[in-house]
Every structure is written in structure tokens, then in C-alpha cells.
Amino acid sequence: MASFKITGDQRLKGEIIPQGAKNEALQILCAVMLTPEVVTIHNIPDIRDVNQLIHLLGDLGVKIKRLTPSSIQFQADDIHLDYLETEEYRVKAAALRGSVMLLGPMLARFRKGRIPRPGGDKIGRRKMDTHFLGFEKLGATFSYDREDGGFYKVDADNLKGTFMLLDEASVTGTANILMAAVMAEGETTIYNAACEPYLQQLAKMLNRMGAKITGIASNLLRIEGVTALKGTEHTILPDMIEIGSFIGLAAMTQSEITIKDCRIAELGIIPDVFKRLGIQMEFRNDDIFIPAQEHYRIENYLDGSTLSVADAPWPGFTPDLLSIVLVTAIQAQGTVLIHQKMFESRLFFVDKLIEMGAQIILCDPHRATVIGHNRETQLRGIRMTSPDIRAGVALLIAAMSAKGVSIIDNIEQIDRGYQYIDTRLNAIGAEIIRL
Ligand SMILES: CC(=O)N[C@H]1[C@@H](OP(=O)(O)OP(=O)(O)OC[C@H]2O[C@@H](n3ccc(=O)[nH]c3=O)[C@H](O)[C@@H]2O)O[C@H](CO)[C@@H](O)[C@@H]1O
Ligand SMILES: C=C(OP(=O)(O)O)C(=O)O
């Protein structure tokens, strides 16, 4: 288990380039399984989850040629389906959540998919019903062997297009069903589809491969099935969660940071939520400039009542940034209610922030009220453990703003999704040592 030792209270200054988006990369990498032709992907982040998925593709027989550190060529022209039945596959695929999206492409191309219960953050129940209800609608049979350590199997003689109304707008569920439907016979309609930028990017890539998808960016996707897909090139967007994390980090640590090439048009409501916390930012072409700010004041609603920030499926605010908003509010002036609707166990890390001196009331597992210090009291460094990827970065931000030294254990959680975060932040003035 690795740890970070952070000496807090440093002001950062400089430019930072966001990495390619983790959650987009996981979808796009699974899509390479849909064609025997070459698919070239650019801006791939060098992070644990993504590297594990790339290894898994290699084990399945995908030919992998690294062109540059972040550009890779894939060719899935000789897939070893027998590997799906091995113990090694179970162990490796269970190490991350993104591997679940291999099912849709495998079903589309080989009419068979296997996946163990996937890993990912332990942030409450993470059901997969949407995925399998969708596959079943397309004509697949599904079985789940609980005795067998939890192994999902899908098989189909033939996939047939149909209308489906998803039980919820699941991100990986929509990606999975979409990738199965592109090669189903006839027309599929997916209503209540998730439409995060990750999915928009996936659908655009699939269309470049020869798929016929309309309704991209909406919750109503129409797919006209095709018999085969061809190769393509794809560039992953900057990681919007990393961009949001840097905005929060700049505000909390009173740092002047320019976040480069953000693809601002794709960030949806994210900048506005941070602006409502009182954080100033300037869009300079496609960069976001955050000035060093001593004070930032949380807005109230127009009627004077307390602001709340809640997650919702896109174009609502992503749940993956709520931990960052929460930590950022600690040094704001004012009060905000953080409402994490989607996950049940994502707010418990506030205990550590409270131990550091933050004023937070955990109302219930889904809601926490943060009463900002307005920099009248500084957090103090402590030893803590990173429970999940985003809480881990929230704790890192807290530690960087705190007086004294903090240790964060279990930083493998952070490494799942943030590329060389210590090196990149140290380059602009942080003091983080990897132990
Ligand atoms: C690898 C990957 O891409 N992971 C992301 C993906 O996970 P993932 O695809 O696993 O998450 P889902 O979108 O399926 O659902 C997340 C949670 O939200 C709940 N839910 C979902 C939709 C809805 O309309 N109402 C609702 O309550 C689900 O029951 C579940 O508890 O999307 C999540 C939600 O944006 C993000 O936190 C994860 O980072
Ligand atoms: C919850 C997340 O990831 P995963 O779905 O991979 O656990 C996340 O990226 O915040």
C-alpha cells in the first residue's frame, strides 16, 4: 500500500494540462473489440484502471502497438474466446469497473460475453440490472452464478433491434447496450439513455466505424444495425473530473492556476457550479484561468435560501465531482448542502475532514452541510486513508491547504484515475512525496 506525505499550506502557480478522461477511455478501449480492423486511440491517460484494461485486451488476443506514450493502435482480429473461461480472466477483469463494458462488444461480435462481478469504487450498491435487462431485450439470455464467485454470462444466437426504456440512465449500462445494438438486426431505440460526454464520444466513434446512431447527446438513441464495423481513429477528451478537481484545488489553496485546453464547451454545468461557490475563473480561449483568491463566497438561491449542490444524470452535475465541491466549500464564506443522490457511501470520508477541523454536518449518508471557514481557521494535517478515487483527491486537496504534514494511505485509489498527480502538482509548487 503506497502513501502520500503532503506538506500543506503551499501556494501553487502555473499551468497544468488535464489528462485524457478515464471514464471515456474505458468505453473507447472496450469498443476496439467491435472490429477486426485497426483502431488508433489518442490521449489515453496513463492510469491504473486504463492500463489494467489495456492488459486485459492484450490477454484476450488484441494486438497492441504503442505509437507514443498516449497513442496506441489496437487490432482485435484474433480474439481468444477460451480466455474468458479462465481464472486469470476472472481475477483481472474483476479489478476494475470499466471491464464490464467488454460484454456489449463481445455479444455484438461473438454472440457471447463473460464478466466477473466488476470492481471499482466501493461507494454503495452498484447494480448492473440495466445492462442485462437491455441485453435481454436485444434477445440475449443472461445467467448469473452467485455460487461461482459471481460470474455474469450472456449468450445470443441472434441480436434483434427493439425499443427499450432503460430503468435508469446508467452510464456504463448505456455504453454496453449501445455497443451490442450497433450490430443487432434492424432498429433499436434506447430511451432514458445516459448522455454524458463519454457516451457522446463513444457514439461518434462508433459512427466513424460505420455504425448508424442518431440522437447523440440526447436520452433517445436510435440505432440502425449494421453487419460489421471498420477501423477508425479517436482522440479522448480532457478529463472533466480532473478539470473540476483542479478548479477546487486552486480555490482551496489560494493558487493561481491555468488549466490548459479544457474543451470548455464539453464541460456542461461544471464551471457554473464552481462559480456558484464564489470561485472566479476566466475562460482564455480554451484555457481556464483561476486567480489566487483569498475569499470566495457561496451564493444563496434568489429567495435567500441555502444553496445545495446535487448530482444528476447528464446534463446535470456529475456525482464524481461532489466530493471535490464539498472539500472546496470548507474555506468558502457561507454554507452549502451537498446532496449525493446516486451513491450511498460516498460521503463518509467527511469524518476525516472534520478531524482536520472542517465544519461539516453529515445529515445522513446522502447529505452533508458544509459551513465555510472563510479562511478564519486553517485545517490541520493528519494521517488518513483514501476510501475511493474522488474522496482520495478531496483529501489530497484538504491536505494541501492544511497547516502541517498529512499522510494519505491507500493512494492506489487515487492512481486509478489521476495520472502522475504528485509529479504534476509538485511541478507547480506542491510538496507531495510518494512513500
Ligand atoms: C467507469 C465509469 O464510467 N464509472 C462512472 C459510471 O459508473 P456506472 O455506470 O457504474 O454508474 P451508473 O450510471 O450505472 O449509476 C451510478 C449510480 O447512480 C444511480 N443512478 C443512476 C442513474 C439514475 O438515473 N439514477 C440513479 O440513481 C445508480 O443506481 C447507481 O447507484 O457512472 C457513474 C455515475 O455518473 C460515475 O459515478 C462513475 O464514475
Ligand atoms: C466512481 C468512479 O469510478 P469507477 O466507476 O471506476 O469506480 C469515478 O471515476 O469516480
Report the separation in Å between the CA atom of 42 and the middle of ligand 1, taken as the mean of its atom positions.
25
Say which of 9, 49, 77, 121 is annotated catalytic: 121
| Residue with CA at minimum distance from ligand 2 atom 8 | 320
Do 227 and 309 lie in one domain? The reply is no
Do 135 and 108 lie in one domain? The reply is yes
Quick one: pLDDT at residue 263? Answer: 98
Atom of ligand 2 nearest to the CA of 22: 9
| Residue with CA at minimum distance from ligand 1 atom 36 | 320
pLDDT band of 370, cuts 50, 70, 90: very high
Quick one: pLDDT at residue 147? Answer: 74
Report the separation in Å between the CA atom of 88 and the middle of ligand 1, taken as the mean of its atom positions.
27
Do 129 and 276 lie in one domain? The reply is no
pLDDT band of 177, cuts 50, 70, 90: very high
Do 224 and 247 lie in one domain? The reply is no
Domain total of the chain: 2
Do 264 and 381 lie in one domain? The reply is yes
pLDDT of 174 above 80:
yes
Do 260 and 181 lie in one domain? The reply is no
Do 186 and 206 lie in one domain? The reply is yes
pLDDT of 121 above 90:
no
Domain final residue, candidates 211, 235, 259: 235
Q: What's the rounded mean pLDDT across residues 24-43?
A: 98
* Among 146-160, 295-309, 317-331, the least confident range: 146-160
Quick one: pLDDT at residue 127? Answer: 86
| Residue with CA at minimum distance from ligand 1 atom 3 | 23
- Residue of 342, 389, 419, 421 to mutate, ligand 2, most atoms within 8 A of C-beta: 389
pLDDT band of 119, cuts 50, 70, 90: confident
From the list 174, 188, 185, the residue with the least C-alpha distance to 228 is 185
97: Cβ below 6 Å to ligand 2? yes
320: Cβ below 6 Å to ligand 2? yes
CATH code where residue 30 lies? 3.65.10.10
pLDDT, tens digit, 9 for 90 and up, residues 63-86: 999 999 999 999 999 999 999 989
Would you list which residues are annotated within the binding site?
22-23, 97, 320, 342
Do 220 and 265 lie in one domain? The reply is no
Do 224 and 318 lie in one domain? The reply is no
121: Cβ below 6 Å to ligand 2? yes
Quick one: pLDDT at residue 420? Answer: 96
Give the domain extent around 359: 3-19+238-434
389: Cβ below 6 Å to ligand 2? yes
Quick one: pLDDT at residue 78? Answer: 97
Residue keyed to cell 452549502: 336
Would you list which residues are annotated within the binding site for UDP-N-acetyl-alpha-D-glucosamine?
97, 320, 342
Q: Which of the ligands is closest to the CA of residue 390?
A: 2
Report the separation in Å between the CA atom of 98 and the middle of ligand 2, taken as the mean of its atom positions.
9
Quick one: pLDDT at residue 117? Answer: 84
Do 192 and 91 lie in one domain? The reply is yes
pLDDT over 70 percentage in the chain: 100
Domain final residue, candidates 235, 260, 286: 235
Do 173 and 311 lie in one domain? The reply is no
Given CA atoms 42, 48, 50, 54 in this order, what sign does their dihedral have? positive
Do 11 and 56 lie in one domain? The reply is no
| Cα radius of gyration (the chain) | 22
311: Cβ below 6 Å to ligand 2? no
pLDDT of 150 above 90:
no
| Residue with CA at minimum distance from ligand 1 atom 17 | 342
390: Cβ below 6 Å to ligand 2? yes
Domain final residue, candidates 201, 235, 269: 235
121 is annotated as an active-site residue: yes
pLDDT of 234 above 90:
yes
Mean of per-residue pLDDT scores for the chain = 96
From the list 153, 155, 214, the residue with the least C-alpha distance to 182 is 214
126: Cβ below 6 Å to ligand 2? no
Residues with CB under 6 A from ligand 1: 23, 26, 97-98, 125-127, 168-173, 194, 313, 318-320, 342-343
* Among 113-117, 383-387, 393-397, the least confident range: 113-117
